[in-house]
Structure 1
Amino acid sequence: MKKIKIGLVPKLLIAIVLGILFGQLGSLPTVFLQIPITISSLFSSVLSFIIPLMIIGYVVIGIADLTQGAGKLLGATTLISYGSTLVGGVIAYVVASNIFPIFITPELSASVTEGGEGLAALFTIPLEPMLDVTSAIVFAFLFGISISWLRGQNKGETIYNFFNDFSAIITRILNSFIIPGLPIYIFGNFVNLSYTGSIQSILTVFWRVFLIVLALQLLGVIVLFIIAGIYRKEKPWQFIKNQIPGYITAVGTQSSAATIPVNVEIARKNGVSQQIREFVVPLCATIHLYGSITTVTSCVTAVLIMYGMPFDFPMMMGFILVLGIAMVAAPGAPGGAIMSALPFLPVVGIPAAGPIATLLISLYLTQDSFGTAANVSGDNAIALIIDKIYHTKILKDKSWTPSKNPETEIVKELNT
């Protein structure tokens, strides 16, 4: 008999539903409700311990990779991708801060913050992180930039390989323990939210939030293709039509990496040259995160409004700026963006491993596939723009001929 494999999102949805139902069983002895809450609390402690290590493991190697002398073409691709990501975050904040208060009323916020007192864990383990989040961030940025500089001097490969292996270890921990443990973690937290009576108000808010997020993601992708079409002096609607299979593939797989072959073929249909599509599409699958930052920013703003916390623009802008860099190093597993965002939630006053962070993880992961689809769809719009830059700059030089390694050849040519 063939074993049926259940994906992460169905598991999370099942965990949320079961947690809500279990938390309503007031006739049960309290200790039965405290058991999953205790497991969730222990998981939270481990997650708090891992978070600073995640920052070091991913951000160091991410900066070292992205900043080493990459040439004009790589610089242009990175700049456009990061700019698109930041614009997505800013637009999401502007929309959220003006529209969300319409349906997140003071009465609804009060029902969330003034719910019944949650149940305590049966016991806790004093597991303190080796570094606090701020120290890890400063360490990661300083070492990432320094390693990049060393590699530019043809040095530093030993320490680069060390952090590269360290990043692989963190990825292994996430994929084998943290990600699989999320349904249990979320189950325990939703038991407590249901027990306090605040879950109904939370769900009333977030189905509306997700409709707005989905609209912002689709609108952003359309605008990117319109910009690409205007720049190339071609009709953008055909580009949008061609992207539909890539969007559907990303929704089904929840993976930018798994969508790369489909996206490369779409880029070919769009008329993007082989050298550019084989260079830009895989790169943007890592560094272009318009859809993800739209969701994270919207959800964070909604939670801040819901809990009566400050959500002013300067604070959120700082969060968006650092998030645009941090998510570049997101692991290739579903939910990598929100896991990379966790260490930076204290920037907006949200504890990285508290119940609010757990709520954000739960809500983000249930729609992660749509954010991924927006990310990869925007990748092909960027490929169209970079291809235009390529044709107007490189192909004017008749001495240039493609090589077996187009990325190296293009960067070399643009540096001359």
Structure 2
Amino acid sequence: MKFKFGLLPRIVLAIVLGVLIGSFAPENMVRVFATFTSIFGNFLNFVVPLIILGFIAPGIAKLGKGSGKLLGVSTLVAYSSTVVAGVFAFVAAMIVLPGFMEGREISGLDDPENALAETFITLEMTPLFGVMAALILAFLLGIGMAATGSKTMISFFDEFQVIIEKTISVVIIPLLPFYIFGIFANMAYGGAVMEILSLFGIVFVLIIILHALMLLLQYSSAGALVKRNPFRMLKTMMPAYFTALGTQSSAATIPVTLRQARKTGADERIADFSVPLFATIHLSGSTITLVSCAIGVLFLTGQTPEFSSFLPFILMLGVTMIAAPGVPGGAVMAAIGLLQTMLGFDETMVALMIALYMAQDSFGTAANVTGDGALTNIVDRFTNGRKV
């Protein structure tokens, strides 16, 4: 049997090696790592607007196809769940994290050049257009394609999305461990690594607890509506949870999610429509992870997160992550632009965010697909008109 060294072990190894090597390596060696992370970070900034355009435009166009009421109710339920999860994560993180993060701020992170090793060269990669321009263009084209049913444009964007997904899965994801290694080596060189590692542990535990509480909320709501035992329904969906934990992909888990959602008692026709749709538009687990990690990084840099800033961020997350690809890390890749424009994340903060998110990506995906079973039953209740 061939052993597969997955992404999560590679990220953990990258963090460990980065801390060890960065603590003892000479400056010139750390500058080599810093140069790679700088070049890769610039490439990531170049690709982000293309990711937004490639994900959102075809995603919105495909939402225009479907059966009226069922599509509308499914989309509303999924979006509401995602937003509630984000607000829930914000409140919980603001209650829990300040006590743990007091005195652990790293002021140098808001100006990396003062605390970290310099690069040997700087390779500029100017994006073709900005993040907001990409969002506006994606909405404009997506809604236009849905309204006109333009087969040529939809076909083009389907192929464009495949190219972007390939870029993520073949270039960005394989290089991420090296990127994270370079960041942590540089952090260790600058003496900031212990605070970062402590943040990882605290946020990891918080996120797992929040995922569990969100699933209980989803299934309690579904159980109350359809008059079924929510704990039994949740137990039925556990095969989907563990499948997603291994694949790190909502799309790859669809067959298992669909089978288990039917077993919870949802109408087969409703499940056949809703489960594949939820795999692309329902991201409550990923939203909890993103919001919690973002708040942790802000505290680490000595900033105080404000709900007035995070609410628009959460509302946009629910849209921006639509049709995030079935590859590990799709959600955080789609969210990078929002982190930069709405929360003011710089390159180093984005790198920390990616490292934090990727280390917990499989748990967020598992929470997403498990929650799909509850949402399918809720949609069934409101669209199928069944007496309960």
Q: TM-score, normalised by structure 1?
A: 0.88
Matched, 1:373 2:372: no
What amino acid is aligned across from residue 15 of structure 2 in structure 1?
I
Say whether residues 1:174 and 2:168 are aligned partners.
Answer: yes
Considering only aligned residues, what root-mean-square deviation do their CA atoms show, in Å?
A: 1.9
The partner residue of 1:131 within 120, 129, 135 is: 129
**Number of paired residues?**
385
CA–CA separation in structure 2 for the residues paired with 1:84 and 1:104 = 29
User: Contact 2:85 / 2:288 at 8 angstroms: preserved in 1?
Assistant: yes
Give the equivalent residue in structure 1 for 2:270. 276
User: 2:37 aligned to 31, 35, 40, which one?
Assistant: 40
Structure 1 residue identity aligned to 2:173: I
Matching residue's letter, 1:75: G
> Is the contact between residue 242 and residue 270 of structure 1 (CA under 8 Å) also seen in structure 2?
yes
Contact 1:111 1:198 in 2 (8 A): no
Identical-pair percentage = 41
Cα distance in 2, alignment partners of residues 53 and 285 from structure 1? 22
Native 8 Å contact 1:89 1:320 kept in 2 = yes
TM-superposed CA distance for 1:346, in Å, is: 2.0
> Which residue number corresponds to residue 4 of structure 1?
3
> 1:166 and 1:176 mapped to 2: Cα distance?
15
Aligned residue type for 1:369: S
Deviations 1:258-316 (A, max 9, x none): 22222222123212222122221111111111100000001101111221234211211
Show the counterpart of 2:24.
Answer: 25
Of residues 77, 86, 108, the one that matches 1:80 is 77
Alpha-carbon distance between aligned partners in 1 of 2:77 and 2:70, rounded to the nearest angstrom? 11
After TM superposition, the structure 1 = structure 2 runs for residues 89-168 of structure 1, keeping only pairs within 5 Å, are: 89-105=86-102, 107-110=103-106, 113=109, 117-151=115-149, 156-168=150-162
| Structure (1 or 2) with the larger CA radius of gyration | 1
1:311 equivalent in structure 2: 305
Counterpart of 1:13 in structure 2 is 12
Q: Residue 390 of structure 1: CA displacement?
A: 4.1
Shift of 1:170: 0.9
Please, which moves more after superposition, 83-92 or 203-212?
Answer: 203-212
Question: Does residue 246 of structure 1 match 2:240?
Answer: yes
The answer (yes or no) to whether the contact 2:211–2:288 under 8 Å persists in 1 is yes
Contact 1:295 1:371 survives alignment (8 Å): yes
Asked whether the equivalents of residues 108 and 115 of structure 2 are also in contact (C-alpha less than 8 Å), the reply is no
Q: 1:211 aligns with which of 187, 197, 205?
A: 205
Contact 1:252 1:369 in 2 (8 A): yes
User: What residue number does 1:267 align with?
Assistant: 261
CA offsets 1:87-129 (integer angstroms, 9 cap, x no match): 0001111111222111111x21157659972101111212211
Instruction: Give the whole-Å Cα distance in 2 for the aligned partners of 1:385 and 1:75.
Output: 13
Change (3 A) 1:284 1:173: same
Task: Work out which of the residue numbers 273, 284, 287 in structure 2 matches 1:290.
Answer: 284
CA distance in 1, matches of 2:127, 2:107: 33
Q: Of the candidates 45, 60, 63, which is equivalent to residue 60 of structure 2?
A: 63
* Equivalent of residue 251 in structure 2, options 237, 249, 257: 257
Residue 71 of structure 1 aligns to which amino acid in structure 2? G
> What secondary structure does 2:237 align onto?
helix
Separation in 1, partners of 2:252, 2:155 = 26
Per-residue CA shift, 1:197-245, capped at 9, x if unaligned? 1110111122111211111111111111111111011221211221222
Which amino acid in 2 is paired with 1:55? I
Deviation (angstroms), 1:3: 5.0
Consecutive unaligned residues of structure 2, counting only runs of 5 or more, are none
- Of 42-51 and 156-165, more deviation after overlay is shown by 156-165
- The 2-side partners of 1:130 and 1:39 are apart by 22
Counterpart Cα distance in 1 of 2:376 and 2:315:
23
Q: Name the counterpart of 2:51.
A: 54
Q: Secondary structure at the match of 2:123?
A: coil
- Matched residues in 1 for 2:282 and 2:34: separation? 37
Q: CA deviation at 1:68?
A: 4.7
1:59 and 1:141 in contact (8 A); partners too: yes
The corresponding residue for 1:229 is: 223
Cα–Cα, structure 1 residues 363 and 110, in superposed 2: closer, same or farther, change >3 Å? closer
Match of 2:376 in 1: 383
Deviates more, 1:269-278 or 1:85-94: 269-278
C-alpha distance in 1, partners of 2:96/2:137?
A: 38
Task: Identify the residue that residue 404 of structure 1 maps to in structure 2.
Answer: none
Question: Separation in 1 of the partners of 2:213 and 2:199?
Answer: 22
Alpha-carbon separation, structure 1, partners of 2:311 and 2:76: 18
Indicate the larger mover: 304-313 or 292-301.
Answer: 304-313
TM-score by length of 2: 0.94
- State the alpha-carbon separation in 1 of the partners of residues 54 and 258 from structure 2: 29
Q: Which runs of 5+ in 1 are unaligned?
A: 396-416
Does residue 330 of structure 2 align to residue 336 of structure 1? Answer: yes
Contact 2:36-2:179 within 8 A present in 1 as well: yes
